[in-house]
Structure 1
Amino acid sequence: MTAEARAAGSGRGPAALHGKVAIVTGGAGGLGRATALALAAAGAEVVVADLDVEGGREVADLVGGSFRTCDVSDLDANRALVDFAVERCGGVDIAFLNAGVATGCGVADDFDLARYRRAMGANLDGVVFGTHAVLPALRARGGGSIVATASLAGLASVPLDPLYGANKHAVVGLARSLGPALAPDGIRFNAICPGFAESRIIDPLRDMLSAQGMPVIPAEVVADTVLRIVTGDDTGECWFVQAGREPEPFRFRNVPGPGQPAYA
C-alpha cells in the first residue's frame, strides 16, 4: 500500500492538517525534506529550518512555506525560529525536531571534543532547546504535537558509534518522560526511531550497507510515520521504522518493581 493510500484511509489525507502550522528542523534534505512535503500535502503551513540555506529555501519553495536559518544547538536560535513562525504564520501547532548529525568519534583514543560537542548539540540539545522554545507557542494554541527524531540507535546498542547511541537514547528517554508530563497541557511528545533511512547521515555507510544487503528505508516511509504520529492521539511513544516491518510504537519491557529485601 502506498503512503498516499494509507494516509487517505486513516484521516491523514490532504485536509487533515488544514489550518495547522508546522516547524521542521533539518528540513533541507533527507527525513526533514520528506516530512515537510508530507505535512504540506496534508494541509499544514510549513516553516523549514536548516543551516543549509540553499537546500532549505528550495524545500520551502516546494511546500509553499517559509525558510529560516537555524543552528539548533543554539538556544536563542531556537527561540528566534519560533518567534519567526508565530509572526509569519500566526502560531505553531506542530514541531518536528529532526536536525541531527553523525558523531565521528568514540570515547577512547579517537575522542574529539569538538565532534562530541557538535553531535550532542545537534542531536540532544537541538531537541531540548527546540522543545523549550516551542512550548509557549503550543500552549497559546491550546496544545499541539512535538515529534523528535531519535533512531533505532536509541533502542539498541551501537558499538560502532556509542556516543550517537547515547544521545539518541537520551531523546528516547525524553520522549517517554515528557509525553505524560506535557499531556495536561494538551501537548503530545513522541519520538521517531528509524533504522538506516535515506539521509546524509548514512552517506559514509552506503557501501557497507550495500555489501551486507541491508536495504535503506525511503525517507517517505519515515515521513508517513511522522504524519501518522502527528494526526494520532497518543503521547510518550517511540515509533520504530525498520525495513520489512510495519512502523509501530516500540513496546518497552516493564522495569522490575521492588520485591522482598535483597540485602540484610
Structure 2
Amino acid sequence: MEDRRFEGKVALITGAANGIGAGASRRLAESGAHVVVADIDGDRGKVIADEVDGLFVHCDVRDPEHSKAAVAAAVERFGKLDLVALNAGISTGFTLGEDFDPERYRSVMGINLDGVVYGVHAALPALRETGGQIIATASMAGITPTPMDPIYGANKTAVVGLVRSLAPSLQKTGVRVNALCPSFADTAIIGPFRAQLESTNMPIMEVADVVKAFMAIAESDGTGECWFVVPGRESQPFTFRNAPGPRTATGERMSVDPGAFATGQEA
C-alpha cells in the first residue's frame, strides 16, 4: 500500500541539494508532501526540486534574511508550512592547534549553528499557524566526543542543547522540535576524515538509513527529543541521564518542571 501520510503537507529542507537533505526531500515527496529545496548549490538543488516536483530556493543559512525569504517562498507557493528540516551542515577539517583557521571557524559556526537559529526564528510564525514541526540535523557528535573535529562537536552539541531547551516553550504554541543525530553516513561531510574512518573499520551508514530515522521523527508525536542513528541499532530518542537537581534546605530533592520556566516569549 502506497504511503501518503504527508499528503498535502508542505516541507522546507535546508541543505537539500545533496546527502541527507536530498534523501529526505525524495522521501517526503513520495509520501505526498510539497517540498521546498533550499540550498546554495543551485545546479544540484534545481535537479532535486525538479525530481520531487517541488520548489528550489537559493538559501545561504548564514544569512537570516535568506531563511526568511525561503519561508516566505514556501508559504507563497504552497499556502502554508508544516515541517522545516534545518539540515545544512559542514565539517571543519581542522583542530584548535596550529591548523586552526578563524575564518573557516566563523563560516562553520554560521552554517552549523546560526543556520539552525535563524531557521527556527524565520519558520516559527508559519509553523504556529499549522501546528507544525522542526527537525534539526545535529549529530552523534552532539552526544559523544568527536576528537577528529572538536569544533563540529561543539556546533552539534549546541544544536542538541537548543532543541532540548526550545521544546517546552514551543510545545505551548503547538510546535514540535526534535533533533536527528546520525553517526557517520556516506555524505560529503565525512570527506576530511573518510580515510581515517575506513582505516579503523568504522561503519559508514547509507543515507537511506538516516532518512528512515528522519521519517520516524516526522511521524512521531514527541518533542525535545534527540534521535540517535547508529549502525546496528534501531533509531530512537537518546535517554539523557537526569542532571543533579536542586534540593530543599533540609536536603530533599526538588522536582523541577522545565516547562514552568517557559513563557513562550523567547520563541
Same fold (TM over 0.5): yes
Alignment of 1:157-176 (within 5 A): 157-176=145-164
Question: 2:72 aligns to what?
Answer: 83
Q: Could you tell me how far 1:259 is from its partner in structure 2? A: 4.5
Structure 1, unmatched stretches of 5+, are 1-7
- Asked if 1:182 corresponds to 2:170, the answer is yes
Distance in structure 2 (CA, Å) of the matches to 1:211 and 1:105: 19
Q: Aligned partner of 2:101: which letter?
A: D
Q: Could you tell me how far 1:146 is from its partner in structure 2? A: 0.3
Query: Given that residues 154 and 166 in structure 1 are in contact (C-alpha distance below 8 angstroms), is that contact kept between their aligned partners in structure 2?
Result: yes
Distance in structure 2 (CA, Å) of the matches to 1:58 and 1:73: 23
Pick from 33, 47, 51 the counterpart of residue 58 of structure 1.
Answer: 47
Q: Could you tell me how far 1:111 is from its partner in structure 2? A: 2.0
Alignment of 1:9-158 (within 5 A): 14-141=3-130, 143-158=131-146
Q: Could you tell me how far 1:49 is from its partner in structure 2? A: 0.6
Pick from 224, 228, 240 the counterpart of residue 228 of structure 2.
Answer: 240
Any idea what SS the aligned residue of 2:172 has? helix
Q: Deviations over 1:18-59 (max 9, x none)?
A: 110000100011100111111111111000011111111111
Q: Deviations over 1:38-94 (max 9, x none)?
A: 111111100001111111111111111110110001000100010111111111100
Query: Given that residues 93 and 192 in structure 2 are in contact (C-alpha distance below 8 angstroms), is that contact kept between their aligned partners in structure 1?
Result: no
Any idea what SS the aligned residue of 1:125 has? helix
Query: Given that residues 88 and 111 in structure 2 are in contact (C-alpha distance below 8 angstroms), is that contact kept between their aligned partners in structure 1?
Result: yes
Alignment of 1:189-204 (within 5 A): 189-204=177-192
Q: Could you tell me how far 1:157 is from its partner in structure 2? A: 1.2
Q: Aligned partner of 2:232: which letter?
A: G
Query: Given that residues 27 and 48 in structure 1 are in contact (C-alpha distance below 8 angstroms), is that contact kept between their aligned partners in structure 2?
Result: yes
Q: TM-score, normalised by structure 2?
A: 0.90
Q: Aligned partner of 1:144: which letter?
A: G
Q: Could you tell me how far 1:199 is from its partner in structure 2? A: 1.1
Q: Deviations over 1:202-236 (max 9, x none)?
A: 12322222222222111111111111111110000
Pick from 231, 255, 258 the counterpart of residue 243 of structure 2.
Answer: 255
Q: Could you tell me how far 1:108 is from its partner in structure 2? A: 3.2
Q: Could you tell me how far 1:162 is from its partner in structure 2? A: 1.2
**Aligned residues: CA RMSD:** 1.4
Distance in structure 2 (CA, Å) of the matches to 1:258 and 1:207: 46
Structure 2, unmatched stretches of 5+, are 250-267
Q: How many residues align?
A: 249
Any idea what SS the aligned residue of 2:178 has? strand
Q: Could you tell me how far 1:14 is from its partner in structure 2? A: 2.1
Q: TM-score, normalised by structure 1?
A: 0.91
Query: Given that residues 104 and 115 in structure 1 are in contact (C-alpha distance below 8 angstroms), is that contact kept between their aligned partners in structure 2?
Result: no
Distance in structure 1 (CA, Å) of the matches to 2:26 and 2:195: 28
Q: Aligned partner of 2:151: which letter?
A: L
Query: Given that residues 11 and 34 in structure 2 are in contact (C-alpha distance below 8 angstroms), is that contact kept between their aligned partners in structure 1?
Result: yes
Deviates more, 1:205-214 or 1:239-248: 205-214
Question: 1:4 aligns to what?
Answer: none
Percent of matched pairs sharing the same residue: 51
